[in-house]
Amino acid sequence: MIVAVILIDPKALADALPAALLEADGRTLLEIATGTVLRGPFGGTIVASPPEFSADVHNALHGFAVQHADSPSKKGPHEPLIHALKAAAQFRQRWEKIRAQAASRFQHSDDDDDSPARGKKGPVNETDAQSDWGRHKQNPDVKVRSLARSFDRDGVALFRAEAPLVTLELQAQMVEAFAREAADKDDEARPIAQALYEGRRGYPILLGTAAANEIAALPATTDFDAWLLDQLSRVQDVAVQESGAVETVRAAAELEALRPRLLKKMTKEAKH
C-alpha cells in the first residue's frame, strides 16, 4: 500500500498565511492538490500541517477524506514530515490488521458448514454464491484500498500543496515507475523515486517503507530537500513531461501566472 502525504511549506507565505491557502476559482491550492491526490491509487492521504497553521489547514480541508498529522511544536522544518511519516506507518499497520481480520472473518463464513445458507458442499445457488466477502468488497472504500494494494510495493508518496499542477496522469506515472523498479530489480531496487523535469527535481517523491522510516528518524532540524540531494545514488530519477512536477506557488504573483493552466486542470478533472 502506498500512503500519500501532502506537505505544506511554512516558509512560502502570502499575507502571513501559507501560499497553499491562496485561492483559484474559490478553491485553495491545498484543496486542489488534495483533490487530485485523493483520486490517485493511494491507500490513504495524510496532510502534514505546521503547528502555526493547523487550524487554517483543518478548515480548508473540512469534509475531505484526509488524516491530519499536526506537529506539536516548531523544533525544526523537518518535524511536520516526521509526524506525517509516523502517521503513515500507523495507518498502514491499522489497515493491514483490519484487512487480515476481515479476510479471516469472511473466509470463515464461506467455509462454515453449519451456515443455514449453505450445504455441506458449499453454495447451493447463485445468490448464496455471493458470499459476505463478495458483497463487502464492493464497498467503494474497500475497492479503493484494493486498488492501492494492487501495486507490489509499499511506501509513501510525498506531494507539495504549493504544487497544484500535478495531474492524475503524473501521479500514475510515478507510482508505475516506482512499482516497476521493485518488480525488475527486487532487492536491488532504489528506495526513493523522484520526478525529474528537464533536469529539475520536483514532486511527487516516492519512498519505500524502509526509506520512509529512515527519514522519519532524522533530526527535526533536517532540510529534507538538501538531505535528498546527498542521496542521489539511492534515487530513481523518473523523467516526466509535465512541468507541474517542478512548478510551485510561493506568492500571489506566481499564482496569477499559473492561474489559466490551473483552471484548465480543474475543469478537466471535474469532467472525469
Structural domain includes residue 188:
yes
Q: Are 81 and 48 within 8 A, CB to CB?
A: yes
Structural domain includes residue 169:
yes
> Is the C-alpha dihedral spanning 109, 113, 118, 123 positive or negative?
positive
Structural domain includes residue 130:
no
What confidence tens digit (pLDDT) does each residue in 226-254 have? 999 999 999 999 999 999 999 999 888 89
Distances, alpha carbon 164 to alpha carbons 105, 264, 271, in Å: 41, 12, 18
Instruction: Locate 242 and state its grid cell.
Output: 509535465
Main-chain phi, psi angles of 133, to 5 degrees: -65, -40
Residue 257: Cβ within 10 Å count: 11
Structural domain includes residue 185:
yes
CB-based contacts of 122: which residues, under 8 Å, 6+ apart?
none
**Range scoring the smallest mean pLDDT among 37-41, 110-114, 164-168:** 110-114
Distances, alpha carbon 122 to alpha carbons 76, 130, 132, in Å: 59, 11, 14
Give the integer Cα–Cα distance in Å for 239 and 31: 26
Structural domain includes residue 105:
no
Structural domain includes residue 104:
no
Q: Structural domain of residue 159, as residue ranges? A: 2-93+148-270
Side-chain half-sphere CA neighbours of 82 within 13 A: 17
Distances, alpha carbon 119 to alpha carbons 115, 125, 136, 205, in Å: 7, 10, 22, 52
For residue 118, pLDDT beyond 90: no
- Number of structural domains (the chain) is 1
Give the integer Cα–Cα distance in Å for 271 and 262: 15
3-class DSSP state of 151: coil
| CATH code of residue 221 | 3.90.550.10
Q: Say which residue, 17 or 83, is predicted with more confidence.
A: 83
Averaged pLDDT score across all residues of the chain: 85
Main-chain phi, psi angles of 190, to 5 degrees: -70, 140
Structural domain includes residue 79:
yes
What confidence tens digit (pLDDT) does each residue in 124-138 have? 444 443 444 455 445
Structural domain includes residue 63:
yes
